Structure 1
């Protein structure tokens, strides 16, 4: 349909079929010939709409009836024009509403996209904050654990070493007294057996006291209560201490085979390195469940310190290996593990510019390699 600002033509107002029908009806009503013509002559009258001539009407009617036919035709054109105007207005309003709806829809889609993006950003921020909180909890847990071990070691060293010195000294003096008494007495066979048993008892007591002193020393080395900053570390000594503590925890029943090569000292935090070694060893001990062997190796080559801790225990499937470094992930029953062992060990290695490599197969054991590199 034409624009409202255009001057309508006869075809715009009445379709050819409608014009033909109107001319036929006028002919029937008037009983005369009525015809629309394109070329004007003396026998025709103009059909006007809004002061514009749209065509000419030719009839055989008398002048007054001819004029009435013209007016009737123009009346039809007037109402056709009004209909056309209303239709155009409706179309324009509909198109404007459709354009407005499209704009609103585009605005809603843009708003939805913004909110979706904002939601994704918020979700990402929440996940990052959760990771930060979990890491902070992990660090607090391990810091508290290290402090507790350090305080325990300090307390044991203070409370045990002094009476242990008395015990060791007294046992040595008791041995000397026993030798003097034996030299002055004439011993029969029964009394000689008693003296022999007495010496064995004193020897076992001295051995027990030395073992206690060794455990105290291992605890001090493990917690390193006298050293808080990075210092030169003997990795073999720290590794040996961790093995001793693990053996003591398992009542000397673990089978640990050590193959330690000579290593240069490494700048690091002794207590944290000891914690990393102990965590890996503790995992290996739980994997063999007292029935296997743990092999511990150390070597230095091409500027890399390597500590291998391997067990012949149950091993791990791939789906477990993919999650072993996640904080608080554990396959053990409730209360049997915190799920922080390997996660903490990896963080400690990372802080020392190192890395943790893991190899494992179900039923074939696990090998954990701790690597430290020169700067």
Structure 2
């Protein structure tokens, strides 16, 4: 059948089985909902496989019937008529002839039926009836819930069939209450218990190879159960002995159930440690605790034929389906072996302490008798018990601590590892350092043979190895998982994945793709590293060096480790982003600083050019006058010399020419001297040839600066010098003169057409003080704090 047809068939058969169980439970409730008096045998029986034993003789005791007698016939016919149709056999007020067997003697008793209803049965039997109903409801509830939660899984289907069959059987097992059609339904239902047990054990936790190769085994078992059920109902009519069908059906169910437990144990021995072995352990535990004991009690009842109500054991039967349901629904199971070992250790310790206590009591009895003290004295017993408690309480505490240390050693080591990892990862800002710390924790603390950390590369959208420890082949180290890989979807669901988790995947392509990841990496678990809804990476964990599986404590440590790693990775990413941002900002700051420096240089150059322009204008004006004098005098000298040559001698004309020439030469000398002084002042002002520190006279620099800006000093601007007695100072004279010139030019600009500029100089401790002030409007208060900012001007 195709998957759709298979799923439809499973739903139909599961619905039929649940309905079968619900009808049985409903019929079992009829005596409670609609109580009425009906005739029943005057004695209570218990029976199995065609053997009916008197359990409680009740009113029949007056007729000589005793507990333990075996019922052989009723009215000369088969006792199975009581199960198939009791209303045809028992009638109020009419006696029936019963044949019994006691030992090797047979006897008959003519007894009248007893009128019974739910209100007249003993309290103990009513409680047993309610308990069996409750267990049947639990059975059906477990099977139905698992089937609804896992409708696409074969083991859930097998479990709901088994639970429905058992629920129907349990609800009809109590024969002191007149349940409609209880006998026929129970006889027909018994062999189907064996068929459903075979179906369940060969489906979960692992389908054996011999069943896979023989797909017809399960239908064959159901067909055989149908034949046996039919034989149980119609065997006497078909000419077979009445007890043949029920006996064969019960033997079939018991033998099949025990064989399935043995097969499961054999298959478990061949399993490798992992998810299936855990489920097999849980199933075996459930079978050994509740399933096998009931089967053994049934066998004992068949052999010994006791009068005990064996079906009371069915009350404990619900532990088995609960264990199976737990294994189907839970993906991570507790370690059965650890629980068993620790329980055994606690039991042994308890027995040892109890033995020591008993030995001390015996020793105390023997000791006190030598001193003629009665060990039976209440005072002695109370005192001895008091001191024994004081002595044994520390022993009990130390013994418990010892057992805890032995069986909780790994858990304590894991707690220590988690604390150390948490403390270490807080300060880790390197992805490599985080990966190395994870790998060390896995290989050293958990003892795995190898481990790998895959980090999600957001730029390329892939998971790729970022660190590993242990032996890995090249294919594993080259593993790259894209973001759209099917296994990423499972990892985003915050699940610790194993290869077995994909056995239930219906999409074959997805199932094989996910299995290929585990086959390539050869690891046992994949643990997602998640931060919010983002997958940051994956921890791939290999098998333990000890050969044990990774248990619940290991998975818990892995989850904690993944959570700590996610926080550390996010911190590292944030640190890297901040570092990159800082580098970018520093580069931008350097770029802007360089631009500002260039702008400052250009502005300083512009300021220098502006000052130079003003200086050049003043110098040009100053040089123009003496040069004009020299030029005009040269023309006059040329004329006087020509006249002097023409006169060629002495006389009034020659004398006047000589006097004029003398005056012109004097004025020319004055003009050239003026030019020389201006050039010397300019050279002294700039100090071009004295760029180093020099000892200078500040007054001389001030005077020369004033002389250079004389063209800017309008007729209404007066310069007042208030010079103190200053020592020569060591400075950069050219730069200082530039400052003086800028201050004086700014003062001229601020004064406008008239005003006074005052210059004060005074010696101070360790230097001199120069004050230049004017009576202009001054600098506004709101910008005074900015006058020393680069590029700012008033």
TM-score w.r.t. length of structure 1: 0.54
Equivalent pairs, count: 279
1:22 matched to 2:130: no
* Counterpart-to-counterpart distance in 2, 1:132 and 1:141: 14
Unpaired stretches in structure 1, ≥5 consecutive residues:
1-17, 35-44, 175-179, 185-201, 332-375
Q: 1:217 aligns with which of 668, 673, 677?
A: 677
Taking the TM superposition and a 5 Å limit, the aligned residue runs for 1:1-375 are 22-23=138-139, 29=168, 30-32=170-172, 49-53=282-286, 55-56=289-290, 63=298, 74=320, 77-85=323-331, 92-93=495-496, 96-98=529-531, 99=563, 101-141=566-606, 164-165=629-630, 214=674, 217-218=677-678, 220-224=680-684, 227-229=688-690, 230=692, 231-331=694-794
- What is the DSSP-based 3-state SS (H/G/I as helix, E as strand, rest coil) of the residue aligned with 2:763? strand
User: Over residues 222-268 of structure 1, what are the superposed CA-to-partner deviations in whole Å (9 max), with x where a residue is unaligned?
Assistant: 34377511444332122122223333124333222211223333344
Per-residue deviation, 1:281: 1.0
Query: Taking structure 1 as reference, are residues 244 and 92 closer, same or farther at Cα in structure 2, changes over 3 Å only?
Result: same
* Counterpart-to-counterpart distance in 2, 1:170 and 1:252: 32
Give the conservation status (yes or no) of the 8 Å contact 2:139–2:318. Answer: no
CA RMSD of aligned residues (A): 5.5
Give the conservation status (yes or no) of the 8 Å contact 1:292–1:313. Answer: yes
* Counterpart-to-counterpart distance in 1, 2:282 and 2:495: 23
Report what 1:42 is aligned to.
Answer: none
Give the conservation status (yes or no) of the 8 Å contact 2:698–2:729. Answer: yes
- Greater Rg over alpha carbons, structure: 2
Per-residue deviation, 1:323: 1.5
Per-residue deviation, 1:278: 0.6
User: Over residues 116-154 of structure 1, what are the superposed CA-to-partner deviations in whole Å (9 max), with x where a residue is unaligned?
Assistant: 322342244234424432443355446666877898899
Per-residue deviation, 1:324: 1.1
* Counterpart-to-counterpart distance in 2, 1:160 and 1:132: 42
Query: Taking structure 1 as reference, are residues 70 and 265 closer, same or farther at Cα in structure 2, changes over 3 Å only?
Result: same
* Counterpart-to-counterpart distance in 1, 2:616 and 2:703: 21
* Counterpart-to-counterpart distance in 2, 1:293 and 1:120: 51
User: Of the two structures, which has the highest relative contact order with CA contacts closer than 8 Å and spacing of 6 or more?
Assistant: 1
* Counterpart-to-counterpart distance in 2, 1:255 and 1:158: 22
- What is the DSSP-based 3-state SS (H/G/I as helix, E as strand, rest coil) of the residue aligned with 2:786? coil
Give the conservation status (yes or no) of the 8 Å contact 2:705–2:740. Answer: yes
Query: Taking structure 1 as reference, are residues 158 and 283 closer, same or farther at Cα in structure 2, changes over 3 Å only?
Result: closer
Query: Taking structure 1 as reference, are residues 267 and 253 closer, same or farther at Cα in structure 2, changes over 3 Å only?
Result: same
Query: Taking structure 1 as reference, are residues 144 and 284 closer, same or farther at Cα in structure 2, changes over 3 Å only?
Result: closer
* Counterpart-to-counterpart distance in 1, 2:624 and 2:732: 26
- What is the DSSP-based 3-state SS (H/G/I as helix, E as strand, rest coil) of the residue aligned with 2:727? coil
Query: Taking structure 1 as reference, are residues 209 and 300 closer, same or farther at Cα in structure 2, changes over 3 Å only?
Result: farther
Per-residue deviation, 1:63: 4.7
Give the conservation status (yes or no) of the 8 Å contact 1:228–1:269. Answer: no
* Counterpart-to-counterpart distance in 2, 1:212 and 1:318: 48
Query: Taking structure 1 as reference, are residues 111 and 133 closer, same or farther at Cα in structure 2, changes over 3 Å only?
Result: same
- What is the DSSP-based 3-state SS (H/G/I as helix, E as strand, rest coil) of the residue aligned with 1:49? helix
Per-residue deviation, 1:110: 1.6
* Counterpart-to-counterpart distance in 2, 1:315 and 1:325: 16
- What is the DSSP-based 3-state SS (H/G/I as helix, E as strand, rest coil) of the residue aligned with 2:331? helix
Per-residue deviation, 1:305: 1.9
Per-residue deviation, 1:97: 3.3
TM-score w.r.t. length of structure 2: 0.28
Per-residue deviation, 1:105: 2.4
Query: Taking structure 1 as reference, are residues 137 and 260 closer, same or farther at Cα in structure 2, changes over 3 Å only?
Result: same
Query: Taking structure 1 as reference, are residues 167 and 105 closer, same or farther at Cα in structure 2, changes over 3 Å only?
Result: same
Per-residue deviation, 1:290: 3.0
Give the conservation status (yes or no) of the 8 Å contact 1:295–1:310. Answer: yes
* Counterpart-to-counterpart distance in 1, 2:753 and 2:733: 28
Query: Taking structure 1 as reference, are residues 20 and 28 closer, same or farther at Cα in structure 2, changes over 3 Å only?
Result: closer
* Counterpart-to-counterpart distance in 1, 2:136 and 2:570: 46
Per-residue deviation, 1:85: 0.9
Query: Taking structure 1 as reference, are residues 232 and 158 closer, same or farther at Cα in structure 2, changes over 3 Å only?
Result: farther
Unpaired stretches in structure 2, ≥5 consecutive residues:
1-133, 142-163, 175-256, 262-280, 300-309, 335-489, 497-526, 532-562, 640-650, 656-662
* Counterpart-to-counterpart distance in 1, 2:750 and 2:620: 32
